[in-house]
Chain A
């Protein structure tokens, strides 16, 4: 019989994918339909460092899990902390980008349909990053305090699956928003 945790996390990923799909479709539907500025081509720049950071965090979390399987708790904590740091950097970068968009470019949810769909889609993703960081930090703290049983490797794996899912969503979002829609 398959593992209950794996099936549960796969189901969760399926349902979250459905949720993201709707906001993605809304973004695609409204591409080029804003009646007033600012338009995506004017204000969007590809977030290189944030993307590299988030995608690297998927690699570092794999390093962390490999260390755990080898029994190297120190390396496990180190790479896990690096993952959290990279995720936190991504959030910080998003925050500064949004600050610039809101106060300098004057783009808000209410400005036009680009603003509405941009902030809701990217914001939905960012909220999942926050949830993921919360879970990752919880694991780190519990493990450092020694409260994490050694045989709970599947719990760690499931949280890393969730993190990989958040990354995969970002790949789709960054392509649609920063590569495709900047032509409008």
Chain B
């Protein structure tokens, strides 16, 4: 404002509304509530997922405190049952799903050269439905007692087998909160997945044939198809359970000729593909990070695509390996044992291809790569214990024991969570414009890895020694004491590691080094925008000629399209 031009008629411009100045809290909240931008929604998904992660992690810590010594009185058995139910349900539906959709939302449009997802308003709908479903699930602690003054949070396990969930055995409304929360969340997941499918198939930029699409997008395409096929069985389960509990239906009522095992079939027809829905995004991150930090393109791109599609198909046919002990026929058990062993093959191929990518490469041990290396090692162990469990007679000994708990925590934490960490550190500079601090991240990595193995490796052993899952305490002298104690001590290291992680996220945003457009010298389209990208992503929609468009731009003398 030039003093010379000021006169008595000059009006100081007022903001649109009080409190609506740019950067004010009310303006930020308003933009978050009304946004349809895939980047904002993506960050909101991830932030919500991380919030639920901390809450659910604290629940796990409480479980481990109770189990650290035999005959402990830290928690009552009913409280314990609610804790493991909420921990499992929240980790799968309120941590895993939103974080993977957050990654997809933020990155898929950027990687294919699009300005947004195909249906931005549907995108926003999907987020808010998920967010509400999360609040609904946790509201059960307050709202579920209902007329009978019974019930609190759900306590029926994260897969809620019948007949425990029947009205007679689960009084109050705790099961209903579980049912409704998952029904809603499923609708949000299906909406987001349709969005991903349409975006990946219809909005690719010029020159980006499907065979030139980043593997990250390919894997999310497979994930999205799995969601739209496998989520409806879960929705059907919830509808059937509501009808059983409130309309006198007999879907799972043995007294009327119904079958409680039918729930297990329908649930696991959803439940098994669900775990592939959770892990494939981990593969997606690894397929982007490992090549960049090995300075080599991914080994065997076509086979990686084929293996991912095969994993998607086969995973729809393995569900009853969760039911080896319910008394199916020998033919049934054999079929599912074979199909489960089959799905390990394309998965193994992918592991070999990641290793093949690193072989002969110039490895850079930055934070994303450290976590991907952890992923490779830990996911391998997890896969091997999975193959062991696929052998039905072996599973007869170890079903519902801590061996299974160890297996799935190695896959979900050792596999999925490590790639989530890798992805968060990798794309942090792109989304927030600052580099994550390496030293803090290294503490995170070392402490969390130590804690993770301390907690979950001994659980293989206590499982072998016969310790069942979901028990709130155990007698001394069964040989389980030492392993449980070590397992609980590991929680301390994990917790401190997570503290370093959360601190790093905040500290780097405030005090971190400013990141350029392409701090890691990567090759996919999202690195061609500013950090953070503008609202419209690209000034002009790019045109690509190979799988690594930024390599072509940076090396015009030796472009990829000469060799593809």
Q: Which of A1, A7, A8, A110 contacts B249 (CB 8 A)?
A: A110
- Among the listed stretches B65-73, B239-247, B355-363, which one makes contact with chain A, having 4 or more residues with CB under 8 Å of it? B239-247
Q: Which residues of the partner chain B approach A3 to less than 8 Å between Cβ atoms?
A: 202
Task: Produce 1/0 per residue, B240-277, CB < 8 A to A.
Answer: 10010001111100001111001000100100000000
A18-B257 contact, Cβ under 8 Å, with A109-B247, A110-B250: no
Assembly CA distance A33 to B193 (angstroms): 37
| Interface SS of A by simple majority | helix
A4-B256 contact, Cβ under 8 Å, with A22-B232, A120-B249: no
Query: A29 contacts the other chain (Cβ, under 8 Å)?
Result: yes
Q: Is the CB of B201 within 8 A of A120?
A: no
Query: A11 contacts the other chain (Cβ, under 8 Å)?
Result: yes
A/B interface sample: 20 pairs, CB < 8 A: A1-B202, A4-B203, A11-B197, A12-B194, A15-B194, A16-B232, A18-B228, A18-B229, A18-B233, A19-B235, A26-B236, A26-B266, A29-B262, A108-B248, A109-B248, A110-B250, A113-B256, A115-B250, A116-B243, A120-B251
B224 CB, nearest partner CB in chain A, Å: 8
Q: Which residues of the partner chain A approach B190 to less than 8 Å between Cβ atoms?
A: 15
Assembly CA distance A113 to B193 (angstroms): 34
Query: B476 contacts the other chain (Cβ, under 8 Å)?
Result: no
With an 8 Å Cβ cutoff, the count of chain A residues facing the other chain is 31
Cβ-closest chain B residue relative to A108: B248
Assembly CA distance A7 to B118 (angstroms): 11
Q: Which residues of the partner chain A approach B269 to less than 8 Å between Cβ atoms?
A: 22
Task: Produce 1/0 per residue, B119-156, CB < 8 A to A.
Answer: 10000000000000000000000000000000000000
Q: Is the CB of A26 within 8 A of B118?
A: no
Q: Which residues of the partner chain A approach B258 to less than 8 Å between Cβ atoms?
A: 30, 113, 116
Assembly CA distance A1 to B231 (angstroms): 27
Task: Produce 1/0 per residue, A105-123, CB < 8 A to B.
Answer: 0001110110111001000
Assembly CA distance A109 to B246 (angstroms): 11
Q: Which residues of the partner chain B approach A108 to less than 8 Å between Cβ atoms?
A: 248
Q: Is the CB of B232 within 8 A of A8?
A: no
Query: A172 contacts the other chain (Cβ, under 8 Å)?
Result: no
Assembly CA distance A29 to B119 (angstroms): 38
Query: B553 contacts the other chain (Cβ, under 8 Å)?
Result: no
B199 CB, nearest partner CB in chain A, Å: 8
- Residues on B lying within 8 angstroms of A by beta carbon are 118-119, 190, 193-194, 197-198, 201-204, 228-233, 235-237, 239-240, 243, 247-251, 256-259, 262, 266, 269
- Residues on A lying within 8 angstroms of B by beta carbon are 1-4, 7-8, 11-12, 14-16, 18-19, 21-23, 26, 29-30, 33-35, 108-110, 112-113, 115-117, 120
B317 CB, nearest partner CB in chain A, Å: 14
Q: Is the CB of A14 within 8 A of B228?
A: yes
Assembly CA distance A1 to B118 (angstroms): 13
Q: Which residues of the partner chain B approach A12 to less than 8 Å between Cβ atoms?
A: 194
Q: Is the CB of B231 within 8 A of A109?
A: no
Q: Is the CB of A4 within 8 A of B198?
A: yes
Q: Which residues of the partner chain B approach A26 to less than 8 Å between Cβ atoms?
A: 236, 240, 251, 262, 266
Assembly CA distance A110 to B201 (angstroms): 45
Top-3 shortest CB links A-B:
A110-B248, A19-B232, A22-B236
A118 CB, nearest partner CB in chain B, Å: 11
Q: Is the CB of A120 within 8 A of B204?
A: no
Q: Is the CB of B197 within 8 A of A7?
A: yes
Q: Apart from A8-B197, A30-B257, A120-B243, list 11 A-B contacts with CB within 8 A.
A: A1-B203, A1-B204, A4-B119, A12-B194, A15-B229, A22-B232, A22-B236, A22-B266, A26-B236, A113-B256, A116-B249
B318 CB, nearest partner CB in chain A, Å: 17
Q: Which residues of the partner chain B approach A19 to less than 8 Å between Cβ atoms?
A: 232-233, 235-236
A2 CB, nearest partner CB in chain B, Å: 5
Output the residue of A8, A14, A108, A117 with the most chain B CB within 10 A: A8
Cβ-closest chain B residue relative to A19: B232
Q: Is the CB of B198 within 8 A of A7?
A: yes
B27 CB, nearest partner CB in chain A, Å: 32
Q: Which residues of the partner chain B approach A112 to less than 8 Å between Cβ atoms?
A: 250, 256-257
A33-B203 contact, Cβ under 8 Å, with A11-B228, A19-B232: no
Q: Is the CB of A4 within 8 A of B194?
A: no
Q: Is the CB of A33 within 8 A of B228?
A: no
A125 CB, nearest partner CB in chain B, Å: 14
Assembly CA distance A16 to B233 (angstroms): 10
Q: Which of B119, B231, B247 contacts A15 (CB 8 A)?
A: B231
B459 CB, nearest partner CB in chain A, Å: 34
Q: Is the CB of B250 within 8 A of A113?
A: yes
Q: Is the CB of B201 within 8 A of A2?
A: yes
Q: Is the CB of B239 within 8 A of A120?
A: yes
Q: Which residues of the partner chain A approach B119 to less than 8 Å between Cβ atoms?
A: 4, 8
